[in-house]
Structure 1
């Protein structure tokens, strides 16, 4: 069994290990990784691996290394778990490994939770494996889009809900950094569906033409224009880049018009993150599992899941215009894709779907 390991202290230091899988434990199931997406979001998982516990999902024997989580499909190849049949296919959180073992709990017709000891106390959204045969959000025509976008769209959907449905005051403009990232595109898509709010993109000069071509944003600005930014009415800032100096430029430019400032991720993971003094409102860290749990309690999980499922199905059809999935397989391809993603060499119009 091949495992792709990343040194926690140096995301460019990677190694492959091979070991024969041991006997399957009672109550466990073994999953073969079929395919997975690799995006900048996975680099965020690694860069926040210590602080947010992402390395704990799939620990490595050598604690100085880790297995970064990815989203994709896997097939059950052996099972000692009731209700989890050999041949069943699931969607969920995977390691970059040929196979891995789970301890299914709360097994239902549509999903199960991995109850492995290393995953106790971690967000349930990451521990859930959904059977494709019973998943209302699964469409075999859009498998690539599901791997590339489903978790990221969920984040964008929840941000949209937070700003436009559950928060006060409701902004008329939303400024989005790292506007070419997949989660930013999902958010911009959700905002555009509403019609009454403008999304303003902040991006690098190299990505400006691509972002403009999408038709998702009312305006597209480069980062060096942020200190001269203007916006219509009450404005929210959604930060995917994680560069404090840019946040300061946005806050200082918008001043009294800025009513919300959300920090989502850090696509600029190697940048200087030294805090900078900011005028109010102070940035809020937006953690999807916590927010989603609160909304499920307020609305009811069935209502929230129905809204998300409807939005997701619509988005998959649109997503084909935002990027082109690119499939590759094998150790060399996976390693090269990881290093290129770490070094931000993957154009936003490309969607990497990998396998063994």
Structure 2
């Protein structure tokens, strides 16, 4: 067995290390990682690993190292848990490792929660493992799209819901930074399907043509033009880039038209994130597990899943027109893929699907 380790204070310093497979205790199960997606979202997990406790899901022996979580499929290879059988396959939060152990609780036909002590107090959405045999939204032909987009689309869908269903006031225009990121495109898709709201993409010059071709945005502009931005009506800014100087440009350009400013991630993870004084509204950090729990309390979990499931399937089909899965296998390929993702060298038209 081997684990992919990342130096917490230098995301470019990585290595594979051998790991022993200890005897499995009662109440535990061992899963083999089959395949997973790697996106800029995983770099965000590493960037905010300590602040948001992403490093806590799969602790490394040396606290200076981290095991970044990814989303993918894994198969049970050994089980000492009632009702959990070898050969069952699950979708969920995985380490970049050959195997990992869980302590399943609430085991049922749809899946289980990992009840391990070190995962207590962490967001349940990340501790949930979904059995493919009991997942109504699972489609074997769309596994790549599920790994690439299910968690990212969920974020995009929740942002859309936050702005357009529970927001007060509801914006007429949404400006989205790092607009070629997969979560940003998921949000743009949701807003386009909803209708009645303009979307403006902010991106680097090299991604302008790609974003125009997707048809997801009403307008595409580069970051250099942000200080001269014009929008229709009340406007929300959704920030995936995490660059305070850009946020300041948006706030100062839009003035009273800006009614919401949401911070989602930091694709510009090496940039200077020192705070800058801003005119209102002040930026809000949007954390999906918190918002999802609030909406589930209002609508009920079943209704959330119904709405999200229907939207997810439509996006899987739509995404095929602008993102092509790219498969790679082996330790060297995974290390290279991580380096490319950290350095933002992966084309937005590609989605990395990796296996050990």
**Structure 2 residue 133 is the aligned partner of structure 1 residue 133:** yes
Deviation at 1:20, TM superposition (A): 3.1
3-state DSSP class of the match of 2:230?
coil
Any stretches of 5+ residues in structure 2 without a counterpart? Answer: none
Q: What residue in structure 1 maps to residue 232 of structure 2?
A: 232
Q: What residue in structure 2 maps to residue 193 of structure 1?
A: 193
**Structure 2 residue 333 is the aligned partner of structure 1 residue 333:** yes
**Structure 2 residue 148 is the aligned partner of structure 1 residue 148:** yes
TM-score (norm 1): 0.99
Q: What residue in structure 1 maps to residue 166 of structure 2?
A: 166
Q: What residue in structure 2 maps to residue 267 of structure 1?
A: 267
Deviation at 1:109, TM superposition (A): 1.2
Alpha-carbon distance in 2 for matches of 1:279, 1:137: 43
3-state DSSP class of the match of 1:4?
strand
Alpha-carbon distance in 1 for matches of 2:49, 2:285: 16
Alpha-carbon distance in 1 for matches of 2:154, 2:52: 19
Alpha-carbon distance in 1 for matches of 2:60, 2:218: 45
**Structure 2 residue 242 is the aligned partner of structure 1 residue 242:** yes
**Structure 2 residue 104 is the aligned partner of structure 1 residue 104:** yes
Alpha-carbon distance in 1 for matches of 2:202, 2:89: 39
Residues 1-356 of structure 1 mapped to structure 2, 5 A cutoff: 1-356=1-356
Deviation at 1:83, TM superposition (A): 1.5
3-state DSSP class of the match of 2:108?
coil
3-state DSSP class of the match of 2:46?
helix
Deviation at 1:336, TM superposition (A): 0.3
3-state DSSP class of the match of 1:216?
coil
Alpha-carbon distance in 2 for matches of 1:318, 1:275: 37
3-state DSSP class of the match of 1:106?
strand
Alpha-carbon distance in 2 for matches of 1:333, 1:66: 19
3-state DSSP class of the match of 1:107?
strand
TM-score (norm 2): 0.99
Deviation at 1:108, TM superposition (A): 1.4
Alpha-carbon distance in 2 for matches of 1:173, 1:137: 31
Deviation at 1:19, TM superposition (A): 2.7
Any stretches of 5+ residues in structure 1 without a counterpart? Answer: none
RMSD after superposition:
0.6
Deviation at 1:25, TM superposition (A): 1.1
Alpha-carbon distance in 1 for matches of 2:133, 2:147: 16
Q: Deviations over 1:96-138 (max 9, x none)?
A: 0000000001111101000111111100000000000010111
Alpha-carbon distance in 2 for matches of 1:122, 1:56: 8
3-state DSSP class of the match of 1:174?
strand
Q: Deviations over 1:3-60 (max 9, x none)?
A: 0000111111111111331101110000000000000000000010011100000001
Alpha-carbon distance in 2 for matches of 1:237, 1:9: 30
Alpha-carbon distance in 2 for matches of 1:273, 1:17: 32
Deviation at 1:210, TM superposition (A): 0.6
3-state DSSP class of the match of 1:52?
coil
Q: Deviations over 1:279-298 (max 9, x none)?
A: 11110110000000000000
The number of aligned residues is: 356
Alpha-carbon distance in 1 for matches of 2:19, 2:192: 49
Report runs of 4+ in structure 1 exceeding 2 Å deviation: none
Alpha-carbon distance in 2 for matches of 1:39, 1:25: 34
Q: Deviations over 1:197-218 (max 9, x none)?
A: 0110000011111111100000
